[in-house]
């Protein structure tokens, strides 16, 4: 049996991670007010500029990822294959690096629930 966690706001709205809802449960929920993307799980090459900037400022990645031609490094390809959970749409950190996508997805879900499914910034929201 799949357990789904809902966050209920003081106004009575319920929020959950839609990717975890089985199709039959989605149908039973009725009208869905909106669907918003709160995070992204990506490898380095697909991270947003905002996420890359965050990682560089927080010194979580080596400078050669930004300027590979000026600072060649044998570990360059290793860094490109790591997975990151980008929580910047909800004003959060970029989590990682993770060797496996599944580990990044688990960290993403844990962060979202630990922070009560925060709503994304308006410029990141996609309906």
Question: Exposure string (b/e) for 58-86, b if CB count within 10 Å is 16 or more?
Answer: eeebeebbeeeeeeeeeeeeebeeebbbb
Say if residue 65 is in the same domain as residue 112.
yes
Say if residue 106 is in the same domain as residue 86.
yes
CB distance 116 to 6 below 8 Å = no
CB distance 22 to 2 below 8 Å = yes
Say if residue 45 is in the same domain as residue 88.
yes
Phi first, then psi: give them for residue 19, nearest 5 degrees. Answer: -65, -15
Asked whether the predicted pLDDT for residue 46 surpasses 80, the reply is yes
Give residue 21's pLDDT band: very low, low, confident or very high (50, 70, 90).
confident
- Domain with 22, as residue range(s), is 1-33
Asked whether the predicted pLDDT for residue 6 surpasses 60, the reply is yes
């Amino acid at each position: 049996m799949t357990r789904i966690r809902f966050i209920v706001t003081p106004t009575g709205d319920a929020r959950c991670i839609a990717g975890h809802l089985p199709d039959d449960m989605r149908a039973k929920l009725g009208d869905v007010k909106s669907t918003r993307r709160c995070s992204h799980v990506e490898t380095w090459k697909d991270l947003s500029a905002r996420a890359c900037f965050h990682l560089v400022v927080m010194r979580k990645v080596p400078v050669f990822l930004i300027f590979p031609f000026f600072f060649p490094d044998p570990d360059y390809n290793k860094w490109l294959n790591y997975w990151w959970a980008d929580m910047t749409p909800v004003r959060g950190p970029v989590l990682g690096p993770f060797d496996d996508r599944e580990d990044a997805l688990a960290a993403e879900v844990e962060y979202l629930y630990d922070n009560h499914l925060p709503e994304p910034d308006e410029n990141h929201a996609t309906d």
